[in-house]
Structure 1
Amino acid sequence: MKTTRLAVMAALGMLSVPTMALDCTQLNDWQPNQVYTGGMEVQHLTAKYTAKWWTQNQDPALYSEPENVWRKDGICDPIGTPLPIVKLDAPLDQSRHVIASPVTIKATASHPMNVPIKYVDFRVDGAVIATDDVAPFEVSWTASGLGEHTVSAEVVDEVGGRASSGQRTITVVADDVIVPPSGFKIVGYFPSWQGQVADIQFDKLTHINYSFLLPNADGSLQPLENLAKMQQLVSAAHASGVKVGIAVGGWNGGDDSAFETFASTAQGRATFIRNLMAFVELHQLDGVDMDWEYPDPGSSATNFALLMKELNIELKAKGKFLTAAVVALGYTGGGVLESVFQDVDFLNLMAYDANNADHASFQYALDSIAYWQGRGLSKEKTVLGVPFYSRPTWQAYRTLIAQDPANACRDSDGTSYYNGIPTIRAKTQLALDQAGGIMNWELSHDSQGAASLLTAKWEVAQGLVPSYQCDGTGGPDKPTQCADIQVDPNQYVAHPDWPNGDHAASAQRVRYQQSVYQANWWTRSVPGSDGSWQFVCQF
């Protein structure tokens, strides 16, 4: 009788043998980036799951409780072989490394059924360059061979299961001249009413949108506030190779009546476009960011689509860009028809202001990307927005860290909720992985010192070692003794009963694989496996 790997696991007590099983031979395996809608069935690990509603990037094994998106239907027959999981944590995709310098290659490995991990192989260009059998799994490779290389990791568990991390591409260069990953946008809004042009870090931006130019109901334009400031901005930005667009609209107290009126007729749209093009060319601007907040589904959406199509034709004839700021998700998202995706260079997703407290969580960023890409927006045209301010106090980030420097390393000071350096870094990595850029509202809210959020974004985009270290407690200095760090007594296990019933709470610390991790926000994921966790220290 043939002894299978699954039988070995059963003998070890690692799983229970079911008395009844399901036929899963016609099911596709669950894919993290695929969109699933209610009623769609998948196989994941050893089980069959059915989606209850729209979902993407939500692991069925972790989101199948009664109140969650997946329903677990039962164990598959023939039972699929459970495999280990490995995620490449470093280096960053598209990062650059000077020849002969050390390159840290790091991976997180686990198993959905707690089978022990035997070792992790690290590969460069497909060849194994080192093996590590002790967590945390990490090796150092000396950069060699100018040009692009692929980096990957493969995990092997104690019963022979293998899994690969997939590849990341890095580039070995002759010197340390750094350029952004090809096509990756770093966009900042700059308001007319506050901030100094001299304070802008132009070397860390690709686009700046001056805010805001307001239209009238007949398609004419109101005088721009602080025109001299915009002219100064254009001159300084162009000297640094940064594009400048004019942002049209804005919140404006919720009054979008001018847009609704002129966009409803061909004559009104033509008048507006003629005036706007004259403004763009007169002031040597590089493009337009349409910030109509918000066209509603229905006739308003149709008029917005017509406006964007007609404006795009005129801008492209002059070599100018067209973008739009859009709501993160929800009803008014339907005011932007899918046809608009073809007419814009990219969309700026305003993934903030979700509520009046924790208004810009990492999950909200994930949901926003999933919403727009689920409707057909390409990765390259997706630009994730982050806030440089707090709610409900509406304080600038620079004000928060002036009150307490420790605020740079957390997302709340007890009364204000915002995005500190760890979350900004995590969202930038998310944008590198799933989008085509990252933007912020707005640049004058940033700190000019070492704790700059724009610097944090730029360093992640460039694959640089962070210049400002956060220890996970709100302080900038890393503790010297990991044993001194207090942790939750419940260590992480791949089971829904840790340590708060089914999750870790924001700021909660746990031990996992000889390291301490702190949750950046509410999470069910494996410590260190994604941006919801921050590494604190290693024993």
Structure 2
Amino acid sequence: MRPVPAEQRPFVHGAYYPSWKIYRKQPPSCMDLDIITHVYYAFIRVREDGTIYHLDEHADLHHPIPPGPPGCLPALTHLRATSHPHLKLLLSLGGGSGSAPFPTLASSPTARTTLATSLAAFVRLHALDGVDLDWEHPASPADGTHFLALLRALRDALPAPRYVLSAALPAGEWCLRNIPLAAVAEVLDAVNLMAYDFAGSWTAGRAGHHARLFVGRGEPYDAYAKRSGHGAVDYVLSKGVPARKVVLGVPVYGRSFLGVRGPGEVFEGCGGEAGGVVEYRELPREGAEEVVDEEVWGASCWVGGGGEEGKAEEWVSYDSPRTVREKARYVRERGLGGLFYWTGVADKKGEGSLLRAGYEGLYG
């Protein structure tokens, strides 16, 4: 399928680019930018006083990326200027390991103003198109009130329609209930629902589909298994968020569980990288058959244990092209704003691409 002309793309089809991927020889150009509308550059960090700083200044501005300019941020703006003029480049602020300063920062009018002023200057200096706020996560109603105040300060400094303002939010009522969602949606261009990590090393010892669209009949076997992409979408819509502003998140990675054959079983540990993460490009595991559960729309693979090396059996939950196409169909049917992916660089090329499956599902 050929890329749809930019002026005919009503959906957000975004991807996060983490700066540390440059050290794995995954520059911004390795993403399929022809089919991406928004790139969220992760991350810029904040302090409690509202000042900002680079997570990795070398990666952001100085790392060699031939044949273009050095630094991931200049590389992205160069790609936009030379071959992808449709791209919106957003600065993602915070992140899961960079959110500790937000409660104090957001509660202070002075710090909010400092942050808004600093971010606006950074965005203009680097010719970016906006900001994505990734506060993980507002943990109380007071945090939610301050979250709204912070977004309003950012919007004042980065006015629409020139600048795009989005926020990444967990896809669960446990967090969303703390946020005045209807008022937040009035300020934002998009609410990026992180509809993944429903299962992992933290989920009471039980394996599960970590990016399920729906809850299956055999679930919930624990509180975590009550969560789903569909449930989160229903919740934010019920609280007044316009459907067209809801962007559904897709993980380009799996979650590994050792010593189990499937969801609901008590696992013994996690394979892969920290927290059981396995990049999608490495899935399914060698010798394993990929299975799609059409009840929940989650993919998985299983590898038996034993052998000379004494390996434990492993079950990995992830998204596949089939499940992503189904999520794209869901987005169309519900009138949502589109899809985004964490990350754009862990994908496969060709027929196995999740981003390609999502794009074709939205426009095919």
- Could you tell me the TM-score, scaled by structure 1's length? 0.51
Where does 1:164-313 land on structure 2 (aligned, <5 Å)?
A: 178-179=4-5, 182-194=9-21, 195-225=26-56, 226-227=59-60, 228-238=71-81, 239-240=83-84, 241-252=86-97, 256-313=99-156
2:236 corresponds, among 372, 376, 380, to 372
Counterpart of 1:178 in structure 2: which amino acid? V
The corresponding residue for 2:328 is 428
The corresponding residue for 1:362 is 213
RMSD value, Cα: 2.1
Which of structures 1 and 2 has the larger relative contact order (alpha carbons within 8 angstroms, sep 6+)? 2
Q: Distance in 1 between matches of 2:289 and 2:130?
A: 39
Q: SS of 1:219's equivalent?
A: coil
1:453-490 CA distance string (max 9 Å, x none): 11111111121xxxxxxxxxxxxxxxxxxxxxxxxxxx
1:127-155 CA distance string (max 9 Å, x none): xxxxxxxxxxxxxxxxxxxxxxxxxxxxx
The corresponding residue for 1:399 is 282
Question: Higher strand share goes to which structure?
Answer: 1
Aligned residue-pair number: 287
- Contact kept, 8 Å, 2:18 with 2:41, in 1: the verdict is yes
The corresponding residue for 2:341 is 440
The corresponding residue for 2:355 is 454
1:47-91 CA distance string (max 9 Å, x none): xxxxxxxxxxxxxxxxxxxxxxxxxxxxxxxxxxxxxxxxxxxxx
1:333 aligns with 2:159: no
Change (3 A) 1:303 1:449: same
Change (3 A) 1:317 1:416: closer
- Could you tell me the TM-score, scaled by structure 2's length? 0.74
1:367-422 CA distance string (max 9 Å, x none): 11101111111111011111111113310110114735954978111211001111
Q: SS of 1:416's equivalent?
A: strand
Q: SS of 1:285's equivalent?
A: coil
Q: Distance in 2 between matches of 1:184 and 1:446?
A: 20
The percent of aligned pairs where both chains have the same amino acid is: 30
Q: SS of 2:169's equivalent?
A: strand
- Contact kept, 8 Å, 1:185 with 1:206, in 2: the verdict is yes
- Contact kept, 8 Å, 1:202 with 1:237, in 2: the verdict is no
2:249 corresponds, among 385, 396, 405, to 385
Counterpart of 1:403 in structure 2: which amino acid? E
- Contact kept, 8 Å, 1:179 with 1:462, in 2: the verdict is no
Which of structures 1 and 2 has the bigger CA Rg?
1
Counterpart of 1:452 in structure 2: which amino acid? S
Change (3 A) 1:297 1:334: farther
1:347 aligns with 2:191: yes
Counterpart of 2:197 in structure 1: which amino acid? D
Where does 1:130-145 land on structure 2 (aligned, <5 Å)?
A: none
Question: Higher helix share goes to which structure?
Answer: 2
Change (3 A) 1:405 1:279: farther
Q: Distance in 2 between matches of 1:328 and 1:430?
A: 16
Change (3 A) 1:319 1:416: same
- Contact kept, 8 Å, 2:3 with 2:35, in 1: the verdict is no
Using the TM superposition, give the Cα deviation of residue 202 of structure 1 relative to its aligned residue in structure 2, in angstroms: 0.7
Where does 1:498-513 land on structure 2 (aligned, <5 Å)?
A: none
1:246-281 CA distance string (max 9 Å, x none): 1101100xx633111121111110111111111100
Q: Distance in 2 between matches of 1:419 and 1:370?
A: 21
1:319 corresponds, among 133, 150, 162, to 162
Could you tell me which runs of 5 or more consecutive residues in structure 2 were left unpaired when the two chains were aligned. 61-70, 201-207, 215-227, 257-275, 293-297, 303-314
Q: Distance in 1 between matches of 2:5 and 2:251?
A: 24
Q: Distance in 2 between matches of 1:269 and 1:422?
A: 43
The corresponding residue for 2:299 is 411
Q: Distance in 2 between matches of 1:349 and 1:271?
A: 27
Q: SS of 2:77's equivalent?
A: helix
Change (3 A) 1:452 1:223: same
Q: SS of 2:330's equivalent?
A: helix
Select between 316-325 and 198-207 the one with higher mean Cα deviation: 316-325
Select between 300-309 and 329-338 the one with higher mean Cα deviation: 329-338
Q: Distance in 2 between matches of 1:310 and 1:220?
A: 14
The corresponding residue for 1:485 is none
- Contact kept, 8 Å, 2:38 with 2:89, in 1: the verdict is yes
Q: Distance in 2 between matches of 1:408 and 1:286?
A: 40
Q: Distance in 1 between matches of 2:288 and 2:14?
A: 26
1:511-538 CA distance string (max 9 Å, x none): xxxxxxxxxxxxxxxxxxxxxxxxxxxx
1:343-374 CA distance string (max 9 Å, x none): 00010000111122311112112111101111
Using the TM superposition, give the Cα deviation of residue 209 of structure 1 relative to its aligned residue in structure 2, in angstroms: 0.1
Select between 178-187 and 332-341 the one with higher mean Cα deviation: 178-187
Q: Distance in 2 between matches of 1:330 and 1:278?
A: 35
Where does 1:148-163 land on structure 2 (aligned, <5 Å)?
A: none
Using the TM superposition, give the Cα deviation of residue 223 of structure 1 relative to its aligned residue in structure 2, in angstroms: 2.0
